[in-house]
């Protein structure tokens, strides 16, 4: 975009599963996009909603209720939210490009699907009558890091259970059409960039899996990785995405640092640092006292920091929260911490001698596609 000012983008449902991923990813392109803050209370306060709508060049309407004891309540809520947005678009004479999320459940005979279809149609009608742009996103099942268990997807539930001492069970072993949240987010961003209207855009799933296939992979990640510290074989993009999703449900506070098994004899000590079903790049560094390395995050990379000599403080912070996790490691008891995606991280030498650290990452560094974003912990 040549010398154009950034597009102003607002997301209803900004704090939700897809909303927070979209919000954080738009933040990676500050020259191209400016994010307009949204709070869910705006739907109850007309002037706040109008102020939000009038600022936006693009509105991504994700706010919706997925689950509730009463289907009627879901229906009324979702149609109501879309209608409130339409009323505000009319009041503010908005010419925004509105993208609304709908679901492949539209064609099913349930009130959730019906609410999504009617919401999408209401926005499409507004666009037709008022010269706006609309993209109706018909989305398959979405999975990814930080989804809510028992709410967003069966994968979120399984991942949570397998990192919290519970045993998942399969209700119905059907085939499920899936898309990884980051793939969906980039599809949405491409639609924003295209500036084209498409009232009924069917988003293709990137994989189709049986529930039992997914559970078999997750059970393997629990045994190998969660219990054994081994990075499993990841045969394709789906498995890489599923593994990163699984890792996001670990309670990092209590899980790390993980002590290595140290074998000592009169010659000294031997420690296995990482067992791999996957390649990648291994390196080591020395850090002088008081120096901090890192302060960056990744959106896809899998990384391990292993301290083998000296004293270190490793810090992690999920980029959209204020909570910092502090891990103290000491080479006399070698240990590691793995870096979750979307957590900015650093390592500081807090001892009096040089700190020796081994770093492993699952892909060699590529300056053209570094997946490394600098941000202070």
Residue 74 has a pLDDT of 84
The rounded mean pLDDT for the chain is 93
- Confirm whether 238 is domain-assigned: no
Please say whether the dihedral angle defined by the alpha carbons of residues 86, 89, 94 and 98, taken in this order, is positive or negative.
Answer: negative
Domain containing 314 — which CATH number?
2.60.120.10
pLDDT-derived band at 64 (thresholds 50, 70, 90) equals confident
Copy the structure tokens of residue 77.
């809520």
Q: How many CB atoms lie within 10 A of CB 350?
A: 16
- Confirm whether 14 is domain-assigned: yes
Residue 103 has a pLDDT of 78
- Confirm whether 127 is domain-assigned: yes
Contact predicate 231/225, CB 8 Å:
yes
Q: Rounded to an integer, what is the distance from CA 73 to the centroid of its chain?
A: 28
Residue 1 has a pLDDT of 45
Domain end marker among 139, 168, 201: 139
Q: Is 212 exposed, middle or buried (0-12, 13-18, 19+ CB in 10 A)?
A: exposed
Average pLDDT over residues 334-358: 97
- Confirm whether 308 is domain-assigned: yes
Contact predicate 359/285, CB 8 Å:
yes
Q: What is the pLDDT of residues 146-175, one digit of tens each?
A: 999 998 899 999 999 999 999 999 989 999
Residue 100 has a pLDDT of 93
Q: Give the structural domain span for 23.
A: 1-139
Residue 105 has a pLDDT of 75
Average pLDDT over residues 13-37: 97
Q: How many CB atoms lie within 10 A of CB 287?
A: 18
- Confirm whether 325 is domain-assigned: yes
Domain containing 82 — which CATH number?
3.40.50.720
Domain end marker among 91, 113, 139: 139
Q: How far apart are CA 103 and CA 18, in angstroms?
A: 13
Q: How many CB atoms lie within 10 A of CB 90?
A: 14
Q: Rounded to an integer, what is the distance from CA 65 to the centroid of its chain?
A: 19
Contact predicate 249/160, CB 8 Å:
yes
Average pLDDT over residues 67-74: 83
Domain end marker among 103, 118, 139: 139
Residue 345 has a pLDDT of 98
The mean-pLDDT minimum among 24-28, 124-128, 322-326 falls in 124-128
Residue 215 has a pLDDT of 98
Q: Rounded to an integer, what is the distance from CA 136 to the centroid of its chain?
A: 22
Strand partners, 331: none
Residue 177 has a pLDDT of 95
Average pLDDT over residues 342-361: 97
Helix ranges (DSSP H) in 92-166: 111-130, 154-163
Q: How far apart are CA 303 and CA 179, in angstroms?
A: 24
Residue 16 has a pLDDT of 94
Q: What is the pLDDT of residues 223-267, one digit of tens each?
A: 999 999 999 999 999 999 999 999 999 999 999 999 998 888 888
275 in helix, strand or coil? coil
Query: Is the pTM here over 0.95, yes or no?
Result: no
Residue 3 has a pLDDT of 61
Q: Is 55 exposed, middle or buried (0-12, 13-18, 19+ CB in 10 A)?
A: middle
Q: How many CA atoms lie within 13 A of 130 on its CB side?
A: 22
Q: How far apart are CA 130 and CA 104, in angstroms?
A: 27
- Confirm whether 125 is domain-assigned: yes
Average pLDDT over residues 52-73: 89
Q: Is 167 exposed, middle or buried (0-12, 13-18, 19+ CB in 10 A)?
A: exposed
Q: How far apart are CA 52 and CA 94, in angstroms?
A: 11
Of the chain, the percentage scoring pLDDT greater than 90 comes to 79
- Confirm whether 347 is domain-assigned: yes
Copy the structure tokens of residue 107.
């064609």
Taking Cα atoms as reference points, which of 134, 148, 240 lies closest to residue 191?
Answer: 134
Q: What is the pLDDT of residues 301-321, one digit of tens each?
A: 999 999 999 999 999 999 999
Contact predicate 299/342, CB 8 Å:
yes
The mean-pLDDT minimum among 41-45, 74-78, 108-112 falls in 108-112
Copy the structure tokens of residue 42.
């705006």
What's the structural domain count of the chain? 2
Of the chain, the percentage scoring pLDDT greater than 70 comes to 99
Angle between helices 154-163 and 237-247 (to 10 degrees): 50
pLDDT-derived band at 2 (thresholds 50, 70, 90) equals low
Q: How far apart are CA 57 and CA 132, in angstroms?
A: 10
Q: How far apart are CA 282 and CA 257, in angstroms?
A: 19
Q: What is the pLDDT of residues 13-22, one digit of tens each?
A: 999 999 999 9
- Confirm whether 205 is domain-assigned: no
Q: How far apart are CA 64 and CA 12, in angstroms?
A: 9
Residue 114 has a pLDDT of 84
């Amino acid at each position: 975009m040549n010398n154009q000012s950034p597009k102003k983008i607002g997301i209803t449902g900004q704090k939700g599963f897809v909303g927070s991923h979209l919000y954080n990813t738009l933040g990676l392109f500050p020259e191209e996009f400016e994010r307009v803050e949204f709070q869910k209370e705006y739907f109850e306060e007309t002037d706040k909603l109008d102020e939000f709508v009038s600022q936006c060049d693009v509105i991504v309407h994700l706010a919706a209720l997925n689950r509730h004891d009463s289907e009627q309540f879901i229906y009324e809520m979702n149609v109501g939210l879309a209608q409130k947005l339409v009323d505000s678009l009319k009041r503010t004479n908005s010419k925004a490009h509105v993208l609304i999320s709908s679901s492949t459940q539209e064609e099913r005979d349930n009130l959730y699907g019906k609410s999504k279809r009617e919401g999408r149609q209401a926005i499409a009608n507004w666009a037709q009558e008022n010269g706006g742009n609309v993209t109706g996103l018909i989305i398959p099942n979405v999975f990814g890091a930080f989804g809510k268990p028992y709410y967003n997807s069966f994968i979120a539930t399984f991942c949570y259970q397998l990192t919290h001492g519970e045993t998942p069970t399969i209700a119905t072993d059907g085939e499920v059409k899936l898309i990884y949240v980051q793939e969906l987010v980039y599809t949405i961003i491409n639609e924003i960039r295209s500036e084209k209207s498409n009232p009924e855009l069917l988003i293709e799933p990137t994989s189709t899996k049986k529930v039992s296939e997914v559970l078999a992979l997750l059970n393997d990640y629990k045994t190998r990785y969660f219990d054994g510290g081994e990075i499993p074989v990841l045969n394709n993009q789906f498995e890489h995405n599923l593994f990163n999703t699984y890792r996001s449900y670990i309670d990092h506070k209590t899980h790390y640092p993980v002590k290595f098994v140290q074998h000592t004899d009169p010659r000294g000590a031997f420690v296995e640092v990482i067992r791999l079903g996957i390649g990648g790049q291994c390196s080591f560094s020395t850090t002088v006292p008081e120096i901090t390395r890192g302060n960056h995050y990744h959106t896809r990379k899998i990384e391990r920091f292993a301290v083998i000599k000296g004293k270190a403080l490793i810090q992690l912070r999920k980029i959209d929260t204020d909570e910092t996790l502090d891990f103290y490691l000491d080479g006399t008891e070698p240990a590691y911490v793995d870096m979750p995606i979307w957590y900015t991280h650093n390592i500081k030498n807090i001892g009096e001698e040089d700190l020796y650290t081994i770093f492993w990452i699952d892909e060699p560094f590529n300056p053209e596609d570094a997946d490394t974003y600098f941000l202070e912990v």
